[in-house]
Amino acid sequence: MTDSVVVREVGMRDGLQSIGSLMSTDDKKEWIERSVAAGLREMEVCSFVPEKYLPQFKDAAEVASYAGGRAGLVGVALVPNLRGARRALESGIDKIVCITSATESFSRANLRRSKADSLAEINEIVALRDQVAASGRRVLIQVGISVCFGCPFEGSVDDDAVCSAAQASAAAGADEIGLADTAGYGEPQQVGRIFRRLASELPHVPLAAHFHDTRGLGLANVLAALQAGVRSFDASLAGLGGCPNSPGATGNVATEDLVFMLEAMGFDTGIDLEQLLDVRRFLSAALPDVQMAGHIAAVGLPKGFIRQ
């Protein structure tokens, strides 16, 4: 396997939203600069939620504008609703992530609305994207589907529920679809099975995977998704993160461990691992009260490790 794989850094959004410490706008900008220098090509940098819910993102417009204008980087913002999408599009961001869920219970807990209502709102956001496109600016929409592999409220999730949410997202006009293991319930058989099915049902829609490492299966699930053809993975530097509505959920797979696995396997991520570990040291210094996870930073690269 010598394909390129996109590693999407989501620590600045998914990570920061789950920790107590606020990060300054300057530190966020420096994190972006250092990441681009290390070779990262896509970063989810904020969530356009009301400040009263997540004060971490009160500077969302400024950070999104900074990332969206940065050469060599696809800047991404999460939007919970149409109002957030308007703000995101005004900021000059390159890509927005809209959310729906594979289960009703999670949709109501996370977004305070039904699955059907979340899809209706995604249709409105797509219409807004198309208005912006008519004025000459192309902004991509990823629909992220939460709890695809298990739900903290409902337990196991039927493959059909995931695939019908993906079908609806594609019908709404998603440019790409991300399946999220929000609470770390997924296992490799299931991950491979669902991604293979979707690749067959939606051959023209790029698929992405977002795995939390809650139960230690994050990289095994990445392997299963890779084998099913997925070439875009979310990850969070130092495993920063979690999900406020998923009790016990720890962070995403650690970016540095994911990049190590991919590069060791012969995939091209475009990322310099030594430089990425420098970015992690910056992150650790910027968030001194936050526990950093991940293996590679603790033990180092293998002797003689070079990209395959």
Instruction: Please give the positions annotated as active site.
Output: 243
According to the binding rule CB under 8 A, does residue 230 interact with a copy of itself?
Answer: no
According to the binding rule CB under 8 A, does residue 257 interact with a copy of itself?
Answer: yes
According to the binding rule CB under 8 A, does residue 229 interact with a copy of itself?
Answer: no
**CB contact set of 294 (below 8 Å; sequence gap of 6+):** 238, 239, 254, 255, 256, 257, 280
According to the binding rule CB under 8 A, does residue 213 interact with a copy of itself?
Answer: yes
Calpha distance 303→28 (Å, rounded): 33
Is residue 24 exposed (0-12), middle (13-18) or buried (19+ Cβ within 10 Å)? Answer: exposed
According to the binding rule CB under 8 A, does residue 249 interact with a copy of itself?
Answer: yes
Closest CA to 244 of 272, 212, 220, 280: 212
Token look-up 């890779």 returns 226
Look at the chain and count its residues.
308
Dihedral pair phi/psi, residue 233, rounded to 5°: -130, 135
Calpha distance 40→256 (Å, rounded): 11
According to the binding rule CB under 8 A, does residue 156 interact with a copy of itself?
Answer: yes
Binding a copy of itself (rule: CB under 8 A), the pick from 216, 274, 285, 288 is 216
Nearer to a copy of itself, 50 or 300 (CB): 300
Q: Is 60 in contact with 83 (CB distance < 8 Å)?
A: no
What would the two tokens of residue 169 be?
A: 């997202």
According to the binding rule CB under 8 A, does residue 288 interact with a copy of itself?
Answer: no
- Provide the minimum distance between the beta carbon of 175 and a copy of itself in the complex, in angstroms, as a whole number: 29
Q: Is 151 in contact with 180 (CB distance < 8 Å)?
A: no
The site that binds a copy of itself (CB under 8 A) totals a number of residues, namely 45
Binding mask 188-207 for a copy of itself (x = CB under 8 A): xxx-----------------
According to the binding rule CB under 8 A, does residue 215 interact with a copy of itself?
Answer: yes
According to the binding rule CB under 8 A, does residue 254 interact with a copy of itself?
Answer: yes
Stretch that binds a copy of itself, among 26-34, 120-128, 222-230, 281-289 (CB under 8 A): 222-230
- Provide the minimum distance between the beta carbon of 10 and a copy of itself in the complex, in angstroms, as a whole number: 18
Calpha distance 99→101 (Å, rounded): 7
According to the binding rule CB under 8 A, does residue 132 interact with a copy of itself?
Answer: no
What would the two tokens of residue 222 be?
A: 């990445």
- Provide the minimum distance between the beta carbon of 304 and a copy of itself in the complex, in angstroms, as a whole number: 3
Interacting residues with a copy of itself (CB under 8 A): 1, 150-156, 183-185, 187-190, 213-217, 219-220, 222-224, 248-250, 254, 257, 260-261, 264-266, 294-296, 298-300, 302-305
